[in-house]
Structures are given as structure tokens and as C-alpha cells.
Amino acid sequence: MSTTLYRGGAVLTPAVLAAPATADAPSALLVADGAIAWVGGADEADGLADGVDDVVDLGGALVTPGFVDAHAHVLDTGLVRAGVDLGACASLAETLAAVRAAATGPVGHRLAAEGAPLTGWGWAEDGWPEGRPPTRQELDAAAGGAPVYLGRVDLHAGVVSTSFAEVLGLRDLPGWRADGLVTGEAHAVARAALRDLPADVRDARYRGALEAAARAGVVAVHEQSAPHTDTRAGLAALLALTAHPASALPLVVGYRAELCETADDVRALAAAIPGLAGVGGDLAADGSLGSRTAALRAPYADAPDGWPHPAGRLDLTAEQVSNHVASATRAGLPAAFHVVGDRALDEVLLGFRVAAEVEGVDAVRAGGHRLEHASMLDAPALAALVLLGLTASVQPAFDDAWGGDDGTYAARLGRGRAASLHPLADLRAAGVPLAFGSDSPVTPLDPWGAVRAAVRHRTPDQRLPVAAALAAHTRGGWAAAGRAGAGGAAPGDVVVGAPAHLAVWRVPEGTAGPGGVLPALRDDEPLPECVRTVRAGAVLHDALG
């Protein structure tokens, strides 16, 4: 048995999390054979030190449960990390300059050597002086005619160069525009081409993304795999790659978004991907608000003249949803749906209600089903989530990035509708189980940033306490994956008997809240820095020194 004693810090147990301003935090814990064997104070730790394999001095650091990112795309995250970061570009001119520099620089040369087009990620035309994305003609000029794909920040639209479009035949597909903007089927084909990688390059992309997650204090990632983001074989490889803590990578919990009509379809999918946790995830009922493809009850406030879908696009029917949910319920696997707009949510919840009429409400409630994003929730929708036992897998960083009176959401919807997005406090008050994720690479792998976004929600009455937000990003992620455990030893809690899924943080001086344990997460203050990440006792990341 391997044993490690951590001492000289502050340990965030459930008791401390419940009362961070008043509870005394233990200063030490013992990890034995991958589990938490003891939590206590300095005097007892002194007595244990001589009998363990390793003693780690925390130097005052904070030990928390390791974070769980409940919605991410591992391959896309790896691809973004390997391409050109356009997220900081403040104008169309800056974006084209970045493409020009990359085409003749190390990134372009490396991608060309791998047989891949030049890729850039994270652009958003909102707030640019030009008010529009690049055109394919501009990309042609900037990259000297080389094949180029630039993904919008929400990954629901992109811009392609002429050579890239011609090789893939994008001009003949739905979603193609003459200026090179692609959505829908044309965008899906473009994205598929980016994933056509040699095995060693694909493995490097996976590892790069997961190592970045570990550096951020993440011990598990819910991979939302879909035909437009990765292959079945890719998901199976990810699950096998991370199955054991000895991999020194975060655990990947796998969801596959393929629409099923029968329980046999679900079972066949599970047989093809051993270890599959659920059918769905990015099974999309609609698109995104940023790309104006989320399905709304009322039209977008800023839809350009001639926009093909003034109120967005509905991609699933209630009949398809009900068949999928009923099939998953019978087969014993959770279903999950990507749903953003209120019109899409109406359709998805109607499908769930029909499935509940057929299978029984209790069976659906027991299914562990979930909604991804669920951005536009009103009171009837909240009641339906409670009735049907659905988990809301949400991304607080979306509100931070695009909320507020002057943000993208206000531009797309108008300030009134935008202020009602991401109702975190309402979800918590209704008793809907919450799990937090990043949707990486849409927003970064930054769990404390997500917690702060929930605590500092742009709509004040939707803000969460720090402890509740932290619980949603740790314990909530394990529960959403059906791994809540039993009794007091659930994953996501620092308690005796629980797996030692831990993260160790340096909390910048002066940033702690009342009681001096949890960070206050005030605006513009530095966030905690991850110095060690531990999965079931195995160290994934170490900068503790």
C-alpha cells in the first residue's frame, strides 16, 4: 500500500464547505492506496509522519476536491491549442494580421508538415469595429492561397479559404455562403476534415488537452463526443487511455451524441464504445446564440437582412427526443441533449414528457438524464426539470463572457431577454442538480473562473454562494456522471473513504473570504493557482515544489 501524508495547509471538508466562515479547517490528510484514509490536525499528523511513504508540506496551501469539467470536447481542445489563438483579436484587421503571421511562421509550418490546414480559433465579430467576420477572399490574401479554417468562438460557425472550400466541396452543401462563412452541414464537413489526423498526431492532441485540464485542477472530464467532433473509435481510445489513474491523466467520462430510436440502438452504441456513460450530450436540438442558430420563440433582435433563420434553427423534433429518451431509459443509459434556445427547450421537454407517459415518470426520473447548457429557462421549464429529475449541465463562464447589458447576448436578444439567461440561483432554489463545465474550447479550462462567474453572475439575483458553486463543479460533476457514491464517501468530497481526487491551491494573499479558507472571488482579484492535482492518489500535475 502506498501512503502520502499532506500537512501544513487547510483542507476543505464538507463541514468547512458548509460553513466556511466559522468552521475550523483541518490542516492535514492521509492518502492510502488511492483513497482518503484520515483527515485531521497538526498534532495527529506529527504522529503519523514516520509511518508513511511520503510527507508533503503544503506550505499553507488549500486542499479542495479535484474539479470535474462536466462538458468539454477533448479533441477540439487539443486542435485549438495547436492552432492560432484568435480570442484576443479586437478587430478584423488584427485577425487577418494573425493569420498572415501564422501562415509564414512556426504554427503554419508545423501544421503544413502534419498535412493539416492552417487553423485559427476563438474569433467573435461582436465588438469589432468592422462588425463582421473575415471573408474567404481576405483569408486567401492573408495566407497566400493556403487552406485555412477559422472557427468562431462558439464552434457553431467558421470561415474558410477558397482552397479549403474547393477541396471539400463546401460550395454545394447547405450552410455555405459565398463569402466563406459556413454553418450547418458545410461547417460539419469542414470540421470533420480537421479531425482527419494521423494516429500519433491525434494522440498528441488528446494528451495536450488533458494535461492542460490537469494543470487547471481538473481530475475528470465529461467528453461530449459527437460525429461532428470526433469518431466512435476516438472516444473509445480516450476512455481506454484514461481508464486508470496510472495514466497520469484526468478520467474521461464518455458521452456519445448519436440519435437512437430503439433500446437496441442504445445497446449497440454502448457495445461499440466500452465504458460509455451516456447517449447524447452534444445531441443538438439547436445551435448557439452567438451564431444565431439557437432556436428561439421570438426572432433575434439583430438578425441581418436576409438571415435564413430569423429565430434560429430547430434540429430535433419532440418525436425524436421522446424515442431517444425512451430507448435510453429502457437500455439503462442516461440521455442528454444540447439545448440553448427557449423554443428548442420547449421541444425537448415535450419529448421528455411523451417519453414519461410511455415509460413512466419514475423510470425517466431514475434514468439520470441531463440537459447541456439549458440557457433560457422560465418557470414552467424549471418545473418540468424538477418533475422529470433532469440534471442541468451548465457553463457559468458563458455569462461572464457574453452576458451583461453590452454583451453578445444583449445584442442578440435585447437586454430584457438576455437578463434572464443562465438562471443559476433559480435552478438551485428549485432543487435541480447542477454540474458545471467549460464547453472547452469554447471557454477555457478554468474551474475557479467558472466558480467566480457563478458567484458574480451579471444578473445579481442569479448569483450563487462560493460553496454552492464549488460543489456544482466538484461533487455535482460526479453525480451527473452517475458516480455519486454512497454515504459519506462520495467522489467530490474530502472525507475518509472517498477516492483521493484532490487539487492543491496557492490562494493569493488578501483574496480569502470570511474565515480565511475559501477565496472570496472578488472581481479583478487573482484566482487560486493549482500546484498539485491528484486522481485517486496518483499525481497528475505537480508544481508544489
Q: Phi then psi for 172, rounded to 5 degrees?
A: -95, 5
Query: What pLDDT shows up at residue 488?
Result: 52
CA distance 248 to 242: 8
DSSP-assigned letters across all residues of 491-544:
TTS-STTSB--EEEEEPPTT-B-TTSSSB---TTSPPPEEEEEEETTEEEEE--
Mean pLDDT by 10 residues, the chain (545 residues): 94 93 92 97 93 95 98 94 90 95 82 79 90 94 92 90 93 94 92 87 94 98 93 96 97 98 98 97 94 96 91 97 98 98 98 98 98 97 98 98 95 96 98 98 96 97 96 97 70 94 96 90 95 98 91
DSSP string, 5-30: EEESSEE--HHHHHSTTTSPPP-EEE
Give the model's pLDDT for residue 485. 60
Amino acid at 400: D
Phi/psi for 189 (5° steps) reads -65, -40
The CATH class, in words, for 3-65+492-542 is mainly beta
For residue 20, the model assigns a pLDDT of 87
Where, residue-wise, is CATH 2.30.40.10 in the chain? 3-65+492-542
Distance, CA of 329 to CA of 362 (rounded, Å):
11
According to CATH, where is 3.20.20.140 located in the chain? 257-480
The CATH code of the domain at 74-194 is 3.10.310.70
C-alpha closest to that of 160 among 347, 131, 173, 89: 173
Q: Give the pTM.
A: 0.92
- List CB contacts of 77: < 8 A, sequence separation 6 or more: 209, 212, 440, 441, 445
pLDDT value of residue 82? 87
Residue owning grid cell 485549438: 80
CATH classification code of 257-480: 3.20.20.140
Q: Say what the pLDDT of residue 299 is.
A: 97
What is the enclosing helix (H) or strand (E) of 321? helix 318-331
Residue 387 CA, chain-centre distance (Å), reads 25
